[in-house]
Amino acid sequence: MRRETIHAWLMLLPALVVLATFMHVPAVETIIASFWSTARGARPSHFVGLKNYERMIADPVFWQAMRNNLVYALVTVPLSMGLALVMALLVQGRVAGRAFLRMAFFTPTVLPLIAVANIWIFFYTPGFGLIDQIRGLFGLHAQNLLGTGSTALYAVAAVAVWKEAGFFMIFYLAALQTIPPTLIEAARLEGASRWQIFRRITLPMIMPTTLFISVNAVIDAVRLVDHIFQMTQGGPDNATNILFFYIYRVGFQFWDTAYAATLTVVMIVILSLLALGQVVLIDRRVHYK
């Protein structure tokens, strides 16, 4: 073998071993495990074919988790992105105290999601949390936003929006800075209104960034759900149970590892499709330039 090849392998080996042990091999094992039963006591695991998948399709909690995840994504993605754009436009413009604004918007991004969850649980506390204190000023009665089935999912979604918007803001800030000022000057000389400039110049120019952020935001909506563990444990009555939390519950509270593997396969498929989408989008972004 050539010397360079040997050097290359020696340099790659440690990283490849770690990646193979904790990513490639377990990913394949997860897929295999989804075709086997969970070993229980004296009964060892045996091949069951598509049984786990049949069970999943018949499992109302699985479908509820998928629906919840969809609603969660539909709330968090557009809202956090829209706010991110507004924040970026504000911070970029001629606003007094820009440094404070930027800090206020970005700080939640740095906090651990578990800490964020604590802050918001306190905020939501029925009766004496800040939200109910403010409602009290207007003579409105106390309410349990996290403990009510119809509001809980939106209450946890709000937390994600709070945490993520400032993060997406910095991508929009970078994108806004790439718009040539002469373009906007020219439009202004032609008598274009602010709205027209935003609609016809800014928005199209930041479109690639918008696509890029949207894929990342969707991935986060599937994966970044620590606060649900802390705030609601999927409750009340599965109202905030979403796919990743359901995998955790099945795998580590019910110890049904085969079914957890089956659910994990669904999650891997979703993440792969999103990653594929990302590659396609980034490819297209190159063409914009």
Partner 1 sequence: MSLWDKLATLGGWLLAILWIAPLAYAVWTAFHPAAYETHFDLLAPLTLENFPAAWVQAPFARYFLNTVILVTVILAVQLVLGTFAAFAFARLRFPGKQVLFLLVLLQLMVMPDVLLVENYRTMRILGLTDSIVGIGLPYMASAFFIFLLRQTFLQVPTELDDAARIEGASLLTLIRRVYVPLAKPTYVAFGLISVSAHWNNYVWPLIITNSVSARPLTVGLSIFSASDSGVHWSVINAATLMTSGPLLVGFLLFQRAFVQSFMRAGIK
**Looking only at residues 21 through 80 of this chain, which bind partner 1 when binding is defined by CB under 8 A?**
21-27, 29-30, 33
93 touching partner 1, by CB under 8 A: yes
2 touching partner 1, by CB under 8 A: yes
220 touching partner 1, by CB under 8 A: no
8 touching partner 1, by CB under 8 A: yes
Over the window 164 to 203, marking each residue x when it contacts partner 1 by CB under 8 A and - when it does not, the resulting string is: --xx--xx--x-------------------x---------
Number of residues in the chain: 289
Over the window 103 to 142, marking each residue x when it contacts partner 1 by CB under 8 A and - when it does not, the resulting string is: xxxxxxxxxxxxx-xxxxxxx-x-xx-x--x---------
> Which residue lies nearer to partner 1 by CB, 79 or 267?
267
Q: Which of 62, 72, 162, 246 binds partner 1 (CB under 8 A)?
A: 162
Q: Which of 48, 187, 201, 271 binds partner 1 (CB under 8 A)?
A: 271
What are all long-range contacts of 68-71, with beta carbons under 8 Å and residues at least 24 apart?
68/153, 68/238, 68/239, 68/240, 68/241, 68/242, 69/221, 69/222, 69/242, 69/243, 71/153, 71/157
Torsion angle of the four alpha carbons 224, 228, 229, 232, in this order, in degrees rounded to the nearest 10: 180
Stretch that binds partner 1, among 49-57, 197-205, 234-242, 259-267 (CB under 8 A): 259-267
* Number of residues counted as binding partner 1 (CB under 8 A): 88
Say what angle helices 207-223 and 60-92 make with each other, to 10 degrees: 140
* Shortest CB 39 distance to partner 1, Å: 11
* Shortest CB 216 distance to partner 1, Å: 6
CA 86 to CA 80: how far, in whole Å?
10
- The two tokens of residue 138 are 């207007």
CA 91 to CA 30: how far, in whole Å?
46
Taking CA atoms, 76 is separated from 43, 94, 148, 214, in Å, by 44, 29, 19, 10
* Shortest CB 57 distance to partner 1, Å: 20
CA 190 to CA 268: how far, in whole Å?
51
